[in-house]
Amino acid sequence: MTHPSRISLMAAGELRTALEAHQRGDTATAVAALMAIDPESWQAIEQRLTALGGNVAALVSTLNRTT
C-alpha cells in the first residue's frame, strides 16, 4: 500500500496565501507564494486534487467564478 505524500504546514499556508492573493488580484504575491511550495508538497496537493476530480487550474478557475 502506497502512503500519500504529505503537505507541509508551510506549503499549506503558502497555498492559502496564493489563493487569497489571486482573489485580490495580486498576481506577484500569488506567484511568489506558489513558488515557495516544496516539490513533495506540490505532489501531495496535486494527488489530493486529482482524488477530488480536479487540479490546480480548476481550483483557480473556480475562484475566478466566485469573485
| pLDDT, tens only, 6-65 | 999 999 999 999 999 999 999 999 999 999 999 999 999 999 999 989 888 888 788 777
- How far apart CA 39 and CA 35 sit, in angstroms, is 10
Does the pTM of the predicted model rise above 0.85?
A: no
pLDDT of 1 reads: 44
pLDDT of 2 reads: 60
* Residue 3: pLDDT band with limits 50, 70, 90: low
Q: Where are the domains of the chain?
A: 9-66
